Amino acid sequence: MVQRATLLMLLGLFVIYTSVEYVSTRQVLSHCIEIKDHSVTQVLSATSTPSLSVTSSSTESRAESGSTTRNDAQHTMIEGHETKETRVISKVGKVMVIYGILAESEFSKRVIEGHRQHTLLQGHPFQLFERQVLDGLWTKHAWLLSVLLTELHKSEGDRLQWLHFCDADVVLTNQDVPLDIFLPPKDFDHINLLISNDYNGLNTGAFFIRVHEWSVRLAIDVLALRSYRPEDQLKYSEQSATEILLETEKYKNSTAYVPQRWFNAYRGPREGDTLIRGATVLSNTIREGDLQLHVAGTKKNKAHISEWLDYAANTSSGWTRQLKDTTLPAEVALFWKLEKERLSWDKPVVSEVKNEGIEG
């Protein structure tokens, strides 16, 4: 009996001890879980939330700055000449052709560099051709045809939509003007060529042409004209050939003649970069903030290229302005608005009166 009582007492003590240990262990574990949960909460509060805030702030900053963020990055790439990392964002490419002795001149190299920097800054693909493939000035249209065919060979999503051709005597004066602003609105999808006239007629020193089969046919016809119509007097070589073709029914309805000053401006009556007081200033005369200057004409005129390169390089000279501080956006918008109205006026009037016939 004594042994049995002793065993029961020991068993009771064991049960009590086990119960106490269970409760104690549970409390400890609960406390540990609370600490762990609190620590996790603190970690999330201390890392995740600020991280999200930083990301959000960066996104808002990029959204507010818009193209400025892209431009700053592009400026860095220009200064570091890291052209391979340039992120192309525009469907408008710039094409230039320069060859022979002209390509070796110092001012030509500076002209090309100005255009190259502009394309880097604004995200325009840039192609430079330095080999003469045809005689005289016909090489330009040969390369134009080559680029058009190359682009049309690509899928529609990968190809460029427009090409901007400019001669080697066109000096970039304002890096902050993108090429896209000159393009026609969607209402003018029948327009495939933007070009301008000067006092001698058509001037092909700078123009925009759509990547389209229409453009391919034009380039082919320009190159073929002197062979198939040798009787035509081509005073200005391929420029005259282009002018003749653009006056035909085949091409005239898809050509828009825009103000020359937009992207093919002349210097006008100036001493240095200052207009001569009292002189007659034509509408094609370059203004501060305009995209570029075409130093066309004689060797005497070409001497002005170097000085205009200096004006363009001097950011405090007033020639470089942000796009919003120029008159170009308003001018372009007004031009296309008036063109749309003109087209609506030219539409034939259709009578709404029904022909009931004649009784009799």
Domain annotation covers residue 358: no
- When divided into structural domains, the chain yields a total of 1
Domain annotation covers residue 48: no
Residue with tokens 């009590």: 16
**How many Cβ atoms are within 10 Å of 323's Cβ, its own excluded?**
15
For the chain, residues with pLDDT lower than 50 are: 2, 7-8, 10-11, 13-15, 17-18, 20-86, 351, 353-360
The per-residue pLDDT for range 23-52, each reduced to its tens digit, is 444 443 344 333 333 333 333 333 333 222
Cα–Cα distance, 341 to 244 (Å, whole number): 27
The per-residue pLDDT for range 259-275, each reduced to its tens digit, is 999 999 998 888 888 89
Domain annotation covers residue 283: yes
The answer to whether residues 127 and 95 touch, using CB atoms and an 8 Å cutoff, is yes
Count the helix, strand and coil residues of the chain and give each as a percent rounded to the nearest 5: 55, 15, 35
Residue with tokens 């050509």: 255
Q: Give me the sign of the Cα torsion angle 56, 57, 60, 62.
A: negative
Domain annotation covers residue 140: yes
pLDDT recorded at residue 296 = 83
pLDDT recorded at residue 124 = 97
pLDDT recorded at residue 325 = 94
pLDDT recorded at residue 360 = 39
Cα–Cα distance, 342 to 338 (Å, whole number): 6
Q: What domain range is 198 assigned to?
A: 67-341
pLDDT recorded at residue 80 = 31
Domain annotation covers residue 34: no
The CATH number for 275's domain is 3.90.550.10
Domain annotation covers residue 109: yes
pLDDT recorded at residue 220 = 98
The answer to whether residues 99 and 130 touch, using CB atoms and an 8 Å cutoff, is yes
pLDDT recorded at residue 349 = 54
Domain annotation covers residue 193: yes
Domain annotation covers residue 74: yes
Residue 254 is which amino acid?
S
pTM of the model: 0.72
